[in-house]
Amino acid sequence: MHRLELIGISKQYPGVRANDGIHLKVAPGQIHAILGENGAGKSTLMKIIYGAVRQDAGQVAWNGREVQVFSPAQARGLGISMVYQHFSLFETLTAAENIWLGLDQSRSLAEVREQTREVSAAYGLHVDPARPVHTLSVGERQRVEIVRALLTKPQLLILDEPTSVLTPQAVESLFVTLRQLSAEGCSILYISHKLHEIRSLCDHCTVLRGGRVVGEVDPRQESNASLSRLMIGADAPVLTPRVGLAGAPVLQVAELNLPQQDPFGVTLEGVSLAVRAGEIVGVAGVSGNGQQELLAALSGEDTRAAPGSIQLFDKDIARASPAKRRSAGLHFVPEERLGRGAVPSLSLAMNTLLTRTEPVSRSGWIRSGQARQLAAKLIDSFRVKAPGPDAPARTLSGGNLQKFIVGREIDAAPKLLIIAQPTWGVDVGAAAQIRGELLRLRNEGCAVLVFSEELDELFELCDRMHVIAQGRLSPAVSIAQATREKIGQWMSGLWPKAAIAEPADAQA
Amino acid sequence: MLKLEPRAQTSLVLAVAAPLLALALTVLIGVALFSALGKDPAQALRLFFVEPLKDGRALSELSIKAVPLGLIALGLAVCFRANIWNIGAEGQFVLGALGASWVAMQAGPATSGWFVVLVLLGGVAGGMLWAGVVALLRDRFNTNEILVSLMLVYVAGLLLNYLVYGPWKDPDGYNFPQTMLFAAATRLPRLVQGLRVNAGVVIALLAVVGFAVFQFRTYRGYALTVGGIAPAAARYAGFSSRSALWTALLLSGGMAGLAGAVEVAGPLGQLTPYVPVGYGFAAIIVAFVGRLHPVGIVFSAVLMSMFYIGGELAQSRLGLPKALTSVFQGLLLFTLLACDHGLQYRMRWVAAEKARAAA
């Protein structure tokens, strides 16, 4: 008997068929991977199992009996638990209070606190029930979510991209916990697009593409290349190799200190880095370690930096406005596309005006014809799938909007391009195109600074790498000397010469 | 249980349909209201929707009220689009009237007819001054502009009373609380002999064109719009939020002040304690019913003016209370918000599913 069986699940959203006749069988104690690109329909499928979304067609069988799951509460009653990619925790409450809030209200807070301790000890998930969530690292927060899921004694645990915020060492310790759960008979649905993780953890893998099942394999028998081919439907594109050497320094940051702006922000301490012409420098790190704060200081959205601490071509820009920095050749692509990189309700033509002032006359008139031409040119040369320059930004898919925004900044012929999460939530084809553009830009002599949580991406792109942890920046390491293990260790703040670094995630 | 789900997309047709649907609902509720009060609804509706458009004189009276409403709403629309909530246009209107009156009192019998331009500028300056207080407090001390602008309305009212009961009182006015009648040179020229309609109409139409151009054709207007709908994008682009605050407030204050000046230099011709009649508040509704769009505001200002005149007619001919005007204004805004919501979201009845889930 299967723990869970899906028979012909389909779900139609306006304009997209998210799931199309999906069959899936999960055995008791199985660690079952769901592999697929962004937009392949993984999340929709999991939400259907968890009762957060209703399918249009198809059946769900639970322990051999057909069930209809109408709500997450009902799913938890059946023994299905889910840990979402984006945590749902209240920052100001303690870990135990958060766990208590997520459970059905039959137990007292004291009981929950006690059970939290027991479960943490049994599975090596160190969680202090009394600590407020805002003092916890991202890895610790995830452990709170997992403990909350385990307190419902699940027979099926769904994990949605659980490692996207973890250091490699924290990933290893998570896997130990998951294997222990599996040995006790709990089935695990593990959603990911990271091939090596699936190969080391899972004993079965269902591959989704475009809402359909395109393969069922034993991942331990597969290679990264064969899995990737299944997932994308083609071989991954090859990137152009590097040419030329790095030139003169373009961006220099020296001993940048910046106190946090809100209670849950990060204080930057003694950040120093340099980017030279014709090189790509990467900044790795788990999100929430000061990336947003550092990016804001570099882009000019935050102008509190001490004079002299940020220099562009030997000129002080620490207090300059974003527009001034842009005219000096610094262009920036932010992580959030809708609402920051682009205004959702405005047309692509109007969105060019956010960072491009060519269509604006000296006296402040907008030449709308010129703005439309510019947008049309970007759509054309960066292969953006859009109806035209008048299409509102929000009607584009994530990948296409990202191509448009990256194109808008690259087309401005920047001397320094700062880009955050260049391929986050972007399909593989668009991701390869964006990475290719970045390499081309570097080969043409532009300085590029990339912030990313995807180590694979940084290893693929960068010439040198820094790691950011708890608001401090590691020294640079050349890509030849960087290894996943070393960078992973640094992501916990443990790099040479670091005086006192708290090993938040490494030892869990 | 009712559940609201966002619709995939709302078409332009629906966006225009919302105000029309709201107007229809307002009329329907109005019919019910008149019937309940024992009045003939057909006759009452005629007072609101036919009489104000009947002839030249009626249209002239319509313009007298539509012009200040439209002028104020144009400025407010810029504010609201930039997410700055100036709800004290009534106070800025009063200060505009005060500023215009002070200038007007400097004129003598021999002053040139162009002097009225100075009177209008005096009004703009007065309104800007009052809105500038709001901007300054918000900029320097991060005060809430909604509260400050609203409370300044009452300060403006007291200031007006102090002046007309005190230093500005007409010595030959038999102790009535009013200023002297202003010289002819300070009055807006009338457009048609024998009717009250004046050059304010021309000013308002020019302002409509000006604001449309500002909003859709200038970089500054673009920056204000972006700051209102996507503040993070505005910070990313480097549009200053301080400059947006000052621009929006000074512009809307200036327009409210201009409306006050048009009132003083137009139909009134002197300052009395009865200058503020709620145009500043009604203009908030005008701005929203006009979809914060300069052309839309033309229509909604005329509509709101019809409500004012209809209310007066209902009072004199049917003996209905004058509060009816406010009831209609409120109904219109309320139904508009409901229609907007109804068009953006789809309502779904989910009780049946819940019941099945429990089974």
Q: What is the pLDDT of residues A194-207, one digit of tens each?
A: 788 888 899 999 99
- Same-domain status, A204 and A298: no
Evaluate whether residue A22 is within a structural domain. yes
A220 and A253 share one domain: no
Does residue A430 share a domain with residue A290? yes
* SS3 per-residue string spanning chain B: CEEEEECCCCCHHHHHHHHHHHHHHHHHHHHHHHHHCCCCHHHHHHHHHCHHHCCHHHHHHHHHHHHHHHHHHHHHHHHHHCCCCCCCHHHHHHHHHHHHHHHHHCCCCCCCCCHHHHHHHHHHHHHHHHHHHHHHHHHHHCCCHHHHHHHHHHHHHHHHHHHHHCCCCCCCCCCCCCCCCCCHHHCCCECCCCCCCECHHHHHHHHHHHHHHHHHHEHHHHHHHHHHHCHHHHHHHCCCHHHHHHHHHHHHHHHHHHHHHHHHHHHHCCCCCCCCCCHHHHHHHHHHHCCCCHHHHHHHHHHHHHHHHHHHHHHHHHCCCCCHHHHHHHHHHHHHHHHHHHHHEEEEECHHHHHHHHC
User: What is the tens place of the pLDDT at every residue in A397-454?
Assistant: 778 899 999 999 999 999 999 999 998 777 777 888 899 999 999 989 999 999 998 8
Positive/negative CA dihedral, A355, A358, A361, A365: negative
CATH code where residue A484 lies? 3.40.50.300
* pLDDT score of B352 more than 70: no
- Partner residue opposite A339 with nearest CB, options B219, B222, B232: B232
**Rounded-to-integer distance, Cα B270 and Cα B183, Å:** 10
Domain total of chain A: 2
Q: Name the residue among B106, B81, B130 with its Cα closest to residue B256.
A: B130
Does any domain span residue A497? no
Domain extent at residue A42: 4-232
Distance from C-alpha of A378 to C-alpha of B274, rounded to nearest angstrom: 59
Which residue of chain B comes nearest to A334, CA vs CA?
B236
pLDDT in tens, A13-68: 766 788 899 999 999 999 999 988 777 888 889 889 998 888 889 999 999 899 98
Chain A residues in contact with B222 by the CB 8 A cut-off are 350, 353, 366
Enter the tokens of residue A31.
């660690």
Whether residues A216 and A257 share a domain: the answer is: no
pLDDT in tens, A325-357: 999 999 999 988 888 999 998 999 999 999 999
**pLDDT over threshold 90, residue A111:** no
* Closest partner CB to A354 (pick from B218, B236, B353): B236
Do A139 and A55 belong to one domain? yes
Q: Do the Cβ atoms of A299 and B236 come within 8 Å?
A: yes
Q: Do B226 and A343 touch (CB under 8 A)?
A: yes
Which of B8, B226, B236 has the CB atom closest to A334's CB atom?
B236
Measured between CB atoms, does B141 come within 8 Å of chain A?
Answer: no
Query: Do A19 and A154 belong to one domain?
Result: yes
CA distance, residue A388 to nearest chain B CA (Å): 18
Select from A439, A241, A478, B236 the least CA-distant residue to A450. Answer: A439
CB contacts, 8 Å: A368 with chain B:
217
Question: Among residues A232, A259, A280, which one ends one of the domains?
Answer: A232
Query: Is B202 touching A (CB cutoff 8 A)?
Result: no
Least confident of A365-379, B125-139, B307-321: B307-321
The verdict on A16 and A114 lying in the same domain is yes
Sheet hosting strand A212-217, strand order edge to edge: A80-83, A156-160, A187-192, A31-35, A204-209, A212-217
Interface test with B, best of A53, A55, A60, A70 (most B CBs within 10 A): A70
- pLDDT at position B1 is 61
Is the predicted ipTM greater than 0.90, yes or no? no
B64/A236: higher pLDDT: B64
Is A42 buried (19+), middle (13-18) or exposed (0-12) by CB count in 10 A?
Answer: buried
Question: Do B238 and A365 make contact, defined as CB atoms within 8 angstroms?
Answer: no
Residue pLDDT, tens place only, A262-286: 777 889 999 999 999 999 999 998 8
**A496 assigned to some structural domain:** no
Q: Which of B10, B236, B291, B353 to mutate to test the interface with A (most CBs of A within 10 A)?
A: B236
The whole-number pLDDT of residue B353 equals 46
Position A399 scores a pLDDT of 80
Tell me, yes or no, whether A180 lies in a domain. Answer: yes
Q: What is the mean pLDDT of chain A?
A: 86
Give tens-digit pLDDT for B252-273. Answer: 999 999 999 999 999 999 999 9
Q: Are A489 and A506 contacting, i.e. CB atoms less than 8 angstroms apart?
A: yes
B353 touching A (Cβ < 8 Å): yes
Tell if the CB–CB gap between A339 and B233 is shorter than 8 Å: yes
pLDDT (0 to 100) of residue A499: 42
| Nearest-neighbour CA in chain B from A347: distance (Å) | 12
Asked if the model's pLDDT at residue B300 lies above 50, the reply is: yes
Classify residue A306: in a domain, yes or no. Answer: yes
Q: Is residue A93 part of a domain?
A: yes
| A53 shares a domain with A174 | yes
pLDDT digits (tens, 9 = 90+) for B64-83: 999 999 999 999 999 999 99
Question: What does the longest C-alpha to C-alpha distance in chain B come to?
Answer: 90
B220 close to A (CB below 8 A): yes
CB pair distance less than 8 Å for A364 and B219:
yes
**A127 and A212 housed in the same domain:** yes
Using the Cβ of B354 and the Cβ atoms of chain A, whether some distance falls under 8 Å is answered with yes
A85 and A215 co-located in one domain = yes
| Whether residue A53 is found in the same domain as residue A99 | yes
Question: Tokens in use for A349?
Answer: 């033509």
């000013």: which residue's tokens?
B203
Among A15, A343, A357, beta carbon nearest to B230: A343
Q: State how far residue A466 is from chain B, nearest Cα, in angstroms.
A: 24
- Asked whether the beta carbons of residue A321 and residue B240 sit closer than 8 angstroms, the reply is yes
A139 and A198 both lie in a single domain = yes
Q: What is the DSSP string of A419-451?
A: EESTTTT--HHHHHHHHHHHHHHHHTT-EEEEE
Total-model pTM: 0.77
